[in-house]
């Protein structure tokens, strides 16, 4: 991949945004009128880095709307936690107006109940509605009771994310999305930041916002991943590499 000669990284944290010029283009003026003309400077490449911040991170949607109104082209996106949700949805090609409508219309109480929409449940699983079941997921492991790894398993949440990113179904390489994208999660065993650049986009978004203790860690490539805000809440350095 070619090194970016000049770029602008747009930060969006909570409800604020700051544009920082990382490398200004240099324009040379020839002292000798007979000297060959200089090649025009390359246009700046703009990356958008979106941070975590819980519900307040939804302000990222407003930031993207402003950038579009200003006709600022976005060439790549990185995001952590809520920033990964907004960034991944935007990178999948969903128009900003539809993204805003979907987020505002969402019933978050239902989404966080760990119960996917009934239309998404198989007929066999619907029979369970008539049985007495524990809400959390329990099981047996090594001869003992295995407790859930988080209060919320995240089933309904991931179903919601799949709806937001339906335009990206079948795209396993995030570099090939309408806008190249990277999500950041944290390896719960080592505490290291993990860059997610392939696989299911909805699955990566869920991993990036899985708060330890609150949501079950997501296993990707043999690693248990939780909220990326623990290791890298604002992935500016990463967007330079996309």
- Which residues participate in catalysis according to the annotation? 81, 227
Q: What is the DSSP letter of 230?
A: G
* Cβ-Cβ contacts under 8 Å for 191 (sequence gap 6 or more): 230, 231
- CA 202 to chain CA centroid, Å, is 9
Among 135, 154, 22, 17, which Cα is nearest to 85's? 154
Closest CA to 193 of 240, 159, 227: 227
Q: Are 154 and 218 in contact (CB under 8 A)?
A: yes
**Cβ burial, residue 102 (10 Å; 0-12/13-18/19+):** middle
Cα 83 to its chain centre, rounded Å, is: 6
| Tokens read off for 220 | 């990707």
Backbone angles phi, psi at 54, to 5 degrees: 60, -145
């Amino acid at each position: 991949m070619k090194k970016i000669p000049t770029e602008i990284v747009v930060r969006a944290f909570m409800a604020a945004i700051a544009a920082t010029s990382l490398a200004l283009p240099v324009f040379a003026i020839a002292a000798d009128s007979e000297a060959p003309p200089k090649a025009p400077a390359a246009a700046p490449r703009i990356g958008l880095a979106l941070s975590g911040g819980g519900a307040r991170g939804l302000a990222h949607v407003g930031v993207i709307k402003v950038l579009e109104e200003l006709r600022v082209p976005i060439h790549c996106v990185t995001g952590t936690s809520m920033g990964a949700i907004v960034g991944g949805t935007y990178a999948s090609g969903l128009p900003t107006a539809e993204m805003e409508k979907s987020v505002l219309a969402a019933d978050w109480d239902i989404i966080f109940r760990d119960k996917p929409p009934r239309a998404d449940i198989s007929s066999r699983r619907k029979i369970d509605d008539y049985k007495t079941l524990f809400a959390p997921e329990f099981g047996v492991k090594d001869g003992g009771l295995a407790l859930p790894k988080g209060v919320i398993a995240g089933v309904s949440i991931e179903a919601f994310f799949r709806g937001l990113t339906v335009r990206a179904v079948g795209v396993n390489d995030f570099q090939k999305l309408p806008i190249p994208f990277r999500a950041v999660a944290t390896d719960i065993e080592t505490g290291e930041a993990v860059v997610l650049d392939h696989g299911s986009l909805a699955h990566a978004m869920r991993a990036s916002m899985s708060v330890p203790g609150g949501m079950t860690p997501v296993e990707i490539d043999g690693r248990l991943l939780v909220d990326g805000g623990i290791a890298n809440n604002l992935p500016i350095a990463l967007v330079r590499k996309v």
